[in-house]
Amino acid sequence: MFDDSGSAQGVTIVVAETDHGRRLDVVLSLNLDGQSRNRCQSLIRDGHVRVNGRTIHLVRHKLFHEDLIELSLPAPVSARPQAQDIPLDILYEDDALIVINKPPGLVVHPAPGNHDRTLVNALLHHCGDNFAGIGGERRPGIVHRLDKDTSGVMVVAKTELAHTALAAQFADHGRTGPLERGYFALVWGRPSPPAATIDTQIGRAPHNRLKQTVLPAKGRQAITHFDTIHSWGRQKSAVSAVNCRLETGRTHQIRVHLAHLGHPVLGDRVYGAGFATKAVHLPPKAAEALKTLRRQALHAARLGFAHPVTGETMQFTSPPPPDLAAVIAALGPPDHDIGDANLHIR
């Protein structure tokens, strides 16, 4: 389906009688050689498919006999990430590693739907030949990730030795070393008790493979320690600031655990969608600030680890970025204050 010209290709399909009533993603996968159903679903969601002249984003869209499908296959992208001049907030850097303060909205690694403008592209531009080689390639050594819409502190290895040593620390989750991962979040409601350890099994949701969920069995153990530092409002309008410390590092762990408790992260459209209407009960300034946030109110505020070369314990902190700080300011003075959200990140 792809040529070497670097340009997009158009494909037209007339729905056969045998495909009447079938889903759009199914018909595409049956008619496009070499394209998986997942790939077809990505093309639909990204707006590359039209049916009878109308762009369709719903993979389950039902087709009728003689419907006209028009597909614009995007040009293939290079399998190797390219260096791109993207500003970085660098907290620390030496020959072995670099510590950055990731802004919200920045994807860590190129992937379908985000082929460039990622942290990896930025690091390739900033570090260039300073990468000593990881796995035989001059590339950043990603040892942990933050979701696209989660901000905060990240460490990246620049050498294979550093990558191996840091990866071992993250795999150990700080049980035998100084690794520490602390997060700050704004959540709906007032957790009771105000501090606790959440210890569950987490795995893919049975009915939505894009989500994680707490499972009764057959998941992977996930442990999150949290404590409430202050709260605003009561009942329907209650919001709390919490600190979370990870003892494991599962996908979306904090977001899943807090939602499981009934206190999802503000702005979380995946795990807190059912709480979105609560924003109308917030003070007007806070509701407007939350609307402007346009992401989950979660920030990697603290990261500690042993330097992979010297063994020195290193600790880095980051206050909430401007968009999250604006929500905190708009909420006003806390009704119940246990600490300072900007300082007491444990």
Q: Of 19, 94, 116, 147, which is the active-site residue?
A: 147
Quick one: pLDDT band at residue 7, thresholds 50, 70, 90? Answer: very low
Q: What is the mean pLDDT of the chain?
A: 89
pLDDT at residue 335, as a whole number: 82
pLDDT at residue 248, as a whole number: 94
d(CA 197, CA 229): 15
180-337 CATH, one of 3.40.190.10, 3.40.50.12500, 3.30.2350.10, 3.40.630.40: 3.30.2350.10
Chain centroid offset of residue 255 CA: 10
Residue bearing the bigger pLDDT, 131 or 25:
25
Residue bearing the bigger pLDDT, 337 or 105:
105
Name 12's bridge partners.
70
Domain positions in the chain: 9-73, 90-172, 180-337
Mean pLDDT for the stretch of residues 9-35:
89
Residue whose structure tokens are 């190797």: 80
DSSP three-state, residue 322: helix
Q: What does DSSP assign to residue 236?
A: G
pLDDT at residue 139, as a whole number: 82
Quick one: pLDDT band at residue 342, thresholds 50, 70, 90? Answer: very low
d(CA 248, CA 257): 12
CATH number for the domain running over 9-73:
3.10.290.10
Buried b (16+ CB within 10 A) or exposed e, 100-131: bbbbbebbbebeeeebeebbbbbbbebbeeeb
Shared fold status for 9-73 and 180-337: no
Q: Does 71 have pLDDT greater than 80?
A: yes
Q: Does 44 have pLDDT greater than 80?
A: yes
pLDDT tens-place string over residues 215-272: 998 899 999 999 999 999 987 789 999 999 999 999 999 999 999 999 999 999 999 9
Q: Specify the CATH architecture of the domain 90-172.
A: 2-Layer Sandwich (3.30)
d(CA 154, CA 306): 14
Quick one: pLDDT band at residue 49, thresholds 50, 70, 90? Answer: very high
pLDDT tens-place string over residues 317-327: 999 999 999 99
Q: Does 340 have pLDDT greater than 50?
A: no
Alpha helices in the chain (DSSP H): 24-31, 37-45, 119-127, 160-172, 253-260, 284-293, 322-331
pLDDT at residue 341, as a whole number: 40
Q: Does 136 have pLDDT greater than 60?
A: yes
Please state the φ and ψ torsions of residue 301, each to the nearest 5 degrees: -90, -20
Query: Is residue 129 annotated as a catalytic residue, yes or no?
Result: no
pLDDT at residue 344, as a whole number: 33
